[in-house]
Protein backbone atom coordinates (compact mmCIF):
# COMPACT_ATOMS: atom_id res chain seq x y z
CA UNK A 1 0.00 0.00 0.00
CA UNK A 2 1.36 3.44 -0.81
CA UNK A 3 0.55 6.68 0.94
CA UNK A 4 -1.73 8.89 -1.12
CA UNK A 5 -3.54 5.98 -2.78
CA UNK A 6 -7.27 6.17 -2.01
CA UNK A 7 -7.83 2.89 -3.93
CA UNK A 8 -6.18 1.15 -0.96
CA UNK A 9 -9.01 2.39 1.26
CA UNK A 10 -11.51 0.93 -1.20
CA UNK A 11 -9.74 -2.45 -0.91
CA UNK A 12 -9.73 -2.16 2.89
CA UNK A 13 -13.48 -1.56 2.86
CA UNK A 14 -13.94 -4.59 0.59
CA UNK A 15 -12.10 -6.69 3.18
CA UNK A 16 -14.49 -5.35 5.85
CA UNK A 17 -17.47 -6.28 3.67
CA UNK A 18 -16.02 -9.79 3.25
CA UNK A 19 -15.64 -9.98 7.08
CA UNK A 20 -12.08 -11.23 6.43
CA UNK A 21 -10.09 -10.37 9.56
CA UNK A 22 -6.84 -11.74 8.12
CA UNK A 23 -7.19 -9.54 5.03
CA UNK A 24 -8.21 -6.52 7.13
CA UNK A 25 -5.26 -6.87 9.46
CA UNK A 26 -2.92 -6.89 6.45
CA UNK A 27 -3.75 -3.18 6.09
CA UNK A 28 -2.77 -2.36 9.70
CA UNK A 29 0.66 -1.45 11.11
CA UNK A 30 2.15 -3.30 14.09
CA UNK A 31 1.51 -0.35 16.44
CA UNK A 32 -2.07 0.20 15.26
CA UNK A 33 -4.93 1.74 17.24
CA UNK A 34 -8.67 1.36 16.71
CA UNK A 35 -11.11 3.86 18.22
CA UNK A 36 -14.76 2.84 17.92
CA UNK A 37 -17.82 5.13 17.89
CA UNK A 38 -19.22 3.82 21.17
CA UNK A 39 -17.74 3.66 24.64
CA UNK A 40 -17.49 5.35 28.01
CA UNK A 41 -14.69 7.72 26.95
CA UNK A 42 -14.76 10.70 24.56
CA UNK A 43 -12.83 8.62 21.99
CA UNK A 44 -15.25 5.67 22.27
CA UNK A 45 -13.52 2.39 23.00
CA UNK A 46 -9.80 2.21 22.18
CA UNK A 47 -7.95 -0.95 21.15
CA UNK A 48 -4.14 -0.74 20.95
CA UNK A 49 -1.85 -3.18 19.14
CA UNK A 50 -2.61 -5.74 16.43
CA UNK A 51 -4.09 -8.39 18.72
CA UNK A 52 -6.40 -5.92 20.50
CA UNK A 53 -7.43 -4.25 17.21
CA UNK A 54 -8.25 -7.64 15.70
CA UNK A 55 -10.43 -8.47 18.72
CA UNK A 56 -12.16 -5.07 18.51
CA UNK A 57 -12.99 -5.71 14.86
CA UNK A 58 -14.16 -9.24 15.65
CA UNK A 59 -16.55 -7.73 18.21
CA UNK A 60 -18.07 -5.59 15.42
CA UNK A 61 -18.69 -8.66 13.28
CA UNK A 62 -20.17 -10.57 16.22
CA UNK A 63 -22.46 -7.66 17.18
CA UNK A 64 -23.56 -6.96 13.58
CA UNK A 65 -23.09 -10.31 11.83
CA UNK A 66 -24.35 -8.99 8.47
CA UNK A 67 -22.65 -5.58 8.67
CA UNK A 68 -22.04 -3.95 5.30
CA UNK A 69 -20.37 -0.68 4.33
CA UNK A 70 -21.82 0.85 1.15
CA UNK A 71 -22.26 4.18 -0.63
CA UNK A 72 -18.58 4.74 0.13
CA UNK A 73 -16.02 7.30 -0.92
CA UNK A 74 -12.38 7.62 0.08
CA UNK A 75 -9.56 10.11 -0.11
CA UNK A 76 -5.97 10.35 1.09
CA UNK A 77 -3.81 13.43 1.56
CA UNK A 78 -0.27 12.71 2.69
CA UNK A 79 -0.45 10.34 5.65
CA UNK A 80 -4.13 11.01 6.40
CA UNK A 81 -7.10 9.24 4.89
CA UNK A 82 -10.88 9.46 5.13
CA UNK A 83 -13.47 6.83 4.29
CA UNK A 84 -17.12 7.83 4.32
CA UNK A 85 -19.80 5.14 4.13
CA UNK A 86 -23.30 3.98 4.95
CA UNK A 87 -23.24 1.14 7.48
CA UNK A 88 -26.15 -1.29 7.40
CA UNK A 89 -26.76 -4.45 9.35
CA UNK A 90 -28.78 -6.24 11.97
CA UNK A 91 -27.76 -6.66 15.60
CA UNK A 92 -27.92 -10.05 17.30
CA UNK A 93 -31.10 -8.75 19.00
CA UNK A 94 -32.73 -8.25 15.59
CA UNK A 95 -32.42 -4.44 15.54
CA UNK A 96 -31.85 -2.96 12.09
CA UNK A 97 -28.97 -0.47 11.84
CA UNK A 98 -28.59 2.06 9.03
CA UNK A 99 -26.19 4.89 9.77
CA UNK A 100 -23.84 7.21 7.92
CA UNK A 101 -20.30 7.26 9.27
CA UNK A 102 -16.66 7.82 8.51
CA UNK A 103 -13.20 6.67 9.44
CA UNK A 104 -10.35 9.09 9.98
CA UNK A 105 -7.14 7.20 9.26
CA UNK A 106 -3.53 7.91 10.16
CA UNK A 107 -1.14 6.07 7.85
CA UNK A 108 2.51 5.21 8.39
CA UNK A 109 5.19 5.85 5.76
CA UNK A 110 4.42 2.47 4.13
CA UNK A 111 0.73 3.42 3.89
CA UNK A 112 -0.40 1.02 6.63
CA UNK A 113 -3.10 2.11 9.07
CA UNK A 114 -1.67 3.30 12.39
CA UNK A 115 -4.98 4.69 13.69
CA UNK A 116 -8.56 4.07 12.60
CA UNK A 117 -10.85 6.52 14.35
CA UNK A 118 -14.50 5.71 13.52
CA UNK A 119 -17.56 7.96 13.79
CA UNK A 120 -21.27 7.30 13.30
CA UNK A 121 -24.15 9.73 13.08
CA UNK A 122 -26.50 9.51 16.04
CA UNK A 123 -29.85 8.30 14.71
CA UNK A 124 -33.06 8.85 16.70
CA UNK A 125 -36.10 6.93 15.43
89-98 pLDDT, tens digit each? 999 999 999 9
pLDDT score recorded for residue 1? 44
pLDDT score recorded for residue 53? 98
pLDDT score recorded for residue 5? 80
37-88 pLDDT, tens digit each? 999 999 999 999 999 999 999 999 999 999 999 999 999 999 999 999 999 9
Please spell the DSSP secondary structure of the chain, one letter per residue.
--TT-HHHHHHHHHHHHTT-HHHHHTTEEEEEEEE-S-SSBTTB-EEESHHHHHHHHHHHHHHSTT-EEEEEEEEEETTEEEEEEEEEEE-TTS-EEEEEEEEEEEE-TTS-EEEEEEEE-----
pLDDT score recorded for residue 4? 56
List of residues 6+ apart from 114 with CB closer than 8 A: 29, 31, 32, 33, 106, 107, 108
pLDDT confidence bin for 122, thresholds 50/70/90: confident
The overall average pLDDT reported for the chain is 94
- Residue-range domains of the chain with CATH: 6-120 (3.10.450.50)
Amino acid sequence: MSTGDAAVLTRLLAAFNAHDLDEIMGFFAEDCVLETPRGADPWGTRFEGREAVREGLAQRFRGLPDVHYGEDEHWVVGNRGVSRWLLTGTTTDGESVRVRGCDLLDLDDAGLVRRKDSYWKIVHP
